[in-house]
Structure 1
């Protein structure tokens, strides 16, 4: 079986929201724990979560899950730095990784089924990128073959994997995920988390 890891980016300060989005309650638990449990249920290994802002506050909610907590001390430099910090650590744990699934902490409707779709499509159809499609874009969660790791390490500032996916759209397979467009960046957006 392919060696596929998962990296969850959760280092941001949620400045527009005014509180750590990682700790918003969703289905009776902090959002970051929900995302971690989705990753665990995928069967991928290793799983890493990159923390930065509020890292010491968030870490206890993940401590018993047996996943790798990665601290990005330079989290203020943007998403690229967190992605690279996390990927570097994951590759130290598993140097022969075939591919990585990239997730973020503020897409509450990501399910184990979606992650399994990314992985099974990658294995069956041999696309080097399998990305979620929503609001007319291809984005995360997304699976990228190791041949794109150098591209990920070349990103700068607030650029994320979406840039690479767009550059290689002809080599990317899309999986429909309409709920991926829901963004938890403003206090108004939190209404979707309420039962």
Structure 2
């Protein structure tokens, strides 16, 4: 539970990592997904996971053409750096600052991002066809 959502996107990342640390959960990495991207295919996430299993020190991120972003899997070696993110910044800026440590799946998925009612209406039409 993010008890400080008013502090921006970064507070969700920080809440998740702190929860893992406080509960002594030892994961090799974290997978970040956005709730407003409902069309990400399961097979895409599975491909990311397999890439991460073979490259556990690399960030596995999604390629948007001009930038990298989520969904992404970030290794535990970066957790302390993620805790330093502040404000309304998510993982995208962090990932793009580490491009030399990033691998991406060779194929893409539907990265539709629903931020407005119009986006939602377009998405609903696309799945009703």
Shorter-chain TM-score category? 0.7 to 0.9
- 1:148 positional shift: 0.6
CA distance, structure 2, for counterparts of residue 91 and residue 115 of structure 1: 24
Of the two structures, which has the highest relative contact order with CA contacts closer than 8 Å and spacing of 6 or more? 2
More strand by percentage: 1
Inter-CA distance 187–135: structure 2 relative to 1 (3 Å threshold):
farther
Moved over 6 A (4+): none
Hey, what does 1:89 align to over in structure 2? 19
CA distance, structure 1, for counterparts of residue 20 and residue 55 of structure 2: 25
Hey, what does 2:4 align to over in structure 1? 74
Hey, what does 1:115 align to over in structure 2? 45
SS of residue paired to 2:38:
coil
Structure 2 gap ranges (5+): none
Please report the TM-score for the alignment, with normalisation by the length of structure 2: 0.86
Inter-CA distance 118–187: structure 2 relative to 1 (3 Å threshold):
same
Please report the TM-score for the alignment, with normalisation by the length of structure 1: 0.59
Aligned residue pair count: 124
- 1:123 positional shift: 1.4
CA distance, structure 2, for counterparts of residue 72 and residue 95 of structure 1: 17
Hey, what does 1:140 align to over in structure 2? 70
Structure 1 gap ranges (5+): 1-70
CA distance, structure 1, for counterparts of residue 32 and residue 67 of structure 2: 16
SS of residue paired to 2:103:
strand
SS of residue paired to 2:13:
helix
